Structure 1
Amino acid sequence: MSLEQKRRLVTELPGPRSQELMERKLAAVPGGVGTTMLVFAARAAGGIVVDVDGNHLIDLGSGIAVTTVGASAPRVVAAVTEQVAAFTHTCFMVTPYDGYVSVAETLNRVTPGDHDKRTVLFNSGAEAVENAVKIARAHTGKDAVVVFDHAYHGRTNLTMAMTAKNMPYKHGFGPFAPEVYRAPGSYPYRDNGLDGRAAAARAIDQIEKQIGADNLAACVIEPIQGEGGFIEPAEGFLPALAAWCRANGVVFVADEVQTGFARTGDMFACDREKVIPDLIVTAKGIAGGLPLSAVTGRAEIMEAPHAGGLGGTYGGNPLACAAALAAIETIEADGLVARAREIEAAVISRLRRLQVEDNRLGDVRGRGAMLAVELVRAGTAEPDPRLARDVARYAHQRGVIVLTCGTYGNVLRFLPPLSISDDLLDDAFDVLAAAFGEIR
């Protein structure tokens, strides 16, 4: 890589140039758009982000799971450069182009199941989730949608209704779209030993009593919940839920916006238990940093909307399509599914050693390069959001980009690019170990 893959601080963080830019940001951008870091990026590649003051930061966030193949991945850069020289936009609904079709063919191939599929492209995860609901309603002729505790599906009106967490996503922004219902999921750390099948039975019982399958168009679930706290359901939960949906004419929608494209050590998180969704929603890691999302699903469901009922001006933009093809090629050619599992082994080992030494690390969980630690008050299961904030701040000041999440705000999440080196991972988790040693 042209960019040195090493953490290096040349100023205090934020540096003077970042401080100047932050003053401009505060004067030009509304405060509702927050930032995790107080530094401004100038360059990024592999596992390093360089700020405008020349500081090299270790990236454990990947732009919230977007730059899975690494920022500025060579194949992505080359493909986008070639495409931008050819044309930047015609609108697929006006003058179509082969990049869109190629992405659809590729997604039909790599997503779970070997049934006949169709794919439609959009811009963002939330937009794709909304369209999955539209497609399910058109197919079933029913209105209701079930989502789950701790879910996050986006910031549009419908997806805010589908999202569980009030602050900062929903507070003051209602009223929300109707016919959205919430069921209990599976949260092994807080479910008192409830196994996956029992958790699914609990959810199904509530769905049948409060909504009824005859009224239910879709069940929408993240196979591993993202913003809710990187909650991986107990084994058996997803297969049981999918089986109930199939038996009752309900469209099972897997929201793999954050989990997709090798992030969890499988191409898709559903693959681990061989769950085949009716519709799968993808975004984030799909295009190496360019805005693109998709709904892929069973042909008979995807063909339900009338002509002109799906689409959008920028959906499947040619630059994003070129990037997606290059990103997926990179995942397959460079063995990044296997690399995600190597990252899991290295990081989980470090976190479990820390957990033995510090009982404030209540739960260590996750798969692949989608990993987390839930922080609690010492000797209890009581969430400790202050500790999560303090550890993240400590890491930020020392040049490690770390994100928090969770319904209770007490989870540190780790989403390194799959191109990150072992040396960078070791350095980053040395910093985190030091944080737990110093913060009380």
Structure 2
Amino acid sequence: MTLVSPVAAPLSSSESSPFLAHNYHPLPVTLVDGLGSWVTDVEGRRYLDLLSGYSALNFGHRHPALVAAAHAQLDRLTLTSRAFDHDLLVPFAEALAGLVGPLVAGPPMVLPMNTGAEAVETAIKAARKWGYEVKGVPDGRATIIVADGNFHGRTTTIVSFSTDEDARRGFGPYTPGFRIQPYGDAAALAAAIDETTVAVLLEPIQGEQGVVVPPPSYLPAVREACTAADVLLICDEIQSGLGRTGTTLASELWGVRPDLVTLGKALGGGILPVSAVVGRADVLGVLTAGTHGSTFGGNPLACAVGLAVIDLLSDGSLQASAAALGAAWGERLDGFVADGLLASVRRAGLWAGLDVVGPVAPAPWTGPVDGRDLCERLLAVGVLAKDTHGATIRLAPPLTITPQDLDLATDRLEGALRHP
């Protein structure tokens, strides 16, 4: 066997490696260390992380309580598979049901998985099986209503009902059984429900689309339509849940209780993938032994970290802090719109979608021309963010960010908007 000497990775981008699939277009920065809201690159430069791993890092990098939980469990037991029980599985389910259960319709049950997409797939399977076995929909005819602009993951089934051609094109044949309706139009959604409809699957706030917040009446009207037709309301809270919007779930902002909730990202504390479906026991109860499973779902390490995450959220202080910080932050962001530096801002808690003014601005415009340009300008001044859909960037600071660091990041944002 010939051994190949390791070669130092290029400092610019993973895109230059011939050994790594190029399914991402990252910013040209290579990170090696992180703590709290700050990360450091290979050349020692420090950045404020305002992406937070798409909300997977709601508690910042290497939160001490989460790292301690992971370290302690690594010395005990990491995996059993679900062929055997372990001592943290039921405590994790009970704790998550205690946190989220009061926010869903009916007595709660928890089904642990790994990734967000797996949680969504699990909810789809449970809804279909419930539709056949409980509601009485003829076998093979179940339909689920979804919204345009949705993002629920990138599995074959999920991209089948995506309206993002980059995510969808080239991956057919597509899974049938989904009806796409305009996001924010409750009347159109209600009109699409018929005797084959088993569920409505929605993001309460569309994250990947650019933190798109629906009209205030939308989610309550959807809940009413689902209840009237005996249809399940499934809320995808993988990005919006666990404190991001200043509440434990974004659906709380409108007083809505879904039948099923999908959780992920922040549930693993930025340490490992952890996801779950939480919701009505009579719905998740249709999944019996052999009908659904996961080797790693609910593993001991995941449960240990997940329990620590739930503990951080249990007293509501992080949610309250996110709401308060977000309100003050939002005033500054709205001011950038008033000053003509941004076209528009959408926000909820510590989560914001910013639309750049771009080339439609009156000359001479020296600000960013699109979302990628703004992210590159922010990178140059020590702030990490991510663009989406051309003219938009998303900001999701850690819920643990200090007011001083949030002000500093916003100052740097203003500088990137005002100067080339």
TM-score normalised to structure 1 length: 0.86
- Which amino acid is 1:257 matched to? I
Q: For the structure 1 residues 409 and 178, does the alpha-carbon distance in structure 2 shift closer, same or farther, using more than 3 Å as the test?
A: same
Deviation of 1:148 after TM superposition, in Å, equals 0.3
TM-superposed deviation, 1:66 = 0.4
Change (3 A) 1:309 1:128: same
Partner of 1:174: 172
Residue 77 of structure 1 is matched in structure 2 by 67
Deviation at 1:355, TM superposition (A): 1.1
**Partner Cα separation in structure 1 for residue 282 and residue 391 of structure 2:** 42
Contact map agreement 1:281 1:293 (CA 8 A) in 2:
yes
1:337 match: secondary structure: helix
**2:5 corresponds to:** none
**Structure 1 position 335, deviation (Å):** 1.4
Q: Of 200, 209, 227, which aligns to 2:186?
A: 200
1:23 CA displacement = 6.4
Q: CA deviation at 1:24?
A: 8.8
How far is the alpha carbon of 1:21 from its aligned partner?
7.2
Structure 1 Cα separation of the partners of residues 123 and 262 of structure 2: 7
Provide the C-alpha distance between the structure 2 equivalents of 1:29 and 1:170, rounded to a whole number of angstroms: 22
After superposition, where does 1:256-405 map in structure 2 within 5 Å?
256-289=237-270, 290-333=272-315, 335-358=317-340, 361-376=342-357, 378=360, 386-405=369-388
Match of 1:108 in 2: 97
SS in structure 1 opposite 2:214?
Answer: coil
Q: 1:86 to 1:21 in 2, by over 3 A?
A: farther
- State yes or no: 1:238 paired with 2:219: yes
Q: CA RMSD in A?
A: 2.0
Does the 8 Å contact 2:99/2:310 carry over to 1? Answer: no
User: Which residues in structure 2 correspond to 1:17-166 (within 5 Å)?
Assistant: 19-20=10-11, 22=13, 26-35=17-26, 37-91=27-81, 93-111=82-100, 112-113=103-104, 115-141=106-132, 142=137, 143-166=142-165
Does the 8 Å contact 1:395/1:432 carry over to 2?
yes
Moved over 6 A (4+): none
Between the aligned partners of 2:310 and 2:172, the Cα distance in structure 1 is: 38
Aligned with 2:169: secondary structure? coil
Letter in 1 for 2:190: I
SS in 1 for 2:387: strand
- Count of paired positions: 397
How far apart are residue 98 of structure 1 and its match? 2.7
What one-letter code is carried by the residue in structure 2 that aligns with 1:279?
L
Contact 1:57 1:400 in 2 (8 A): yes
Whole-Å separation in 2 of the counterparts to 1:23 and 1:110? 39
- Aligned equivalents of 1:316, 1:305: Cα separation in 2: 16
Secondary structure of the structure 2 residue equivalent to 1:28? coil
Gaps of 5+ in 2: 1-7
Give the secondary structure class of the aligned counterpart of 1:412.
Answer: strand
Supply the distance in 2 between the matched residues of 1:41 and 1:101 (Cα, whole angstroms).
36
- Structure-2 separation of matches of 1:136 and 1:340: 33
Structure 2 CA distance for partners of 1:323 and 1:23, relative to 1, 3 Å: closer
Shift of 1:20: 4.1
8 Å contact kept, 2:205–2:211: yes
CA contact 1:18–1:52 (8 Å) conserved in 2: no
Equivalent residue number for residue 11 of structure 1 = none
Matched residue type, 1:204: A
- Structure 2 distance, partners of 1:411, 1:20, is 27
Q: Whole-Å Cα distance in 1 between the matches of residues 259 and 320 of structure 2? A: 26
Q: Tell me, which stretches of 5 or more residues in structure 1 are unaligned?
A: 1-16, 187-198
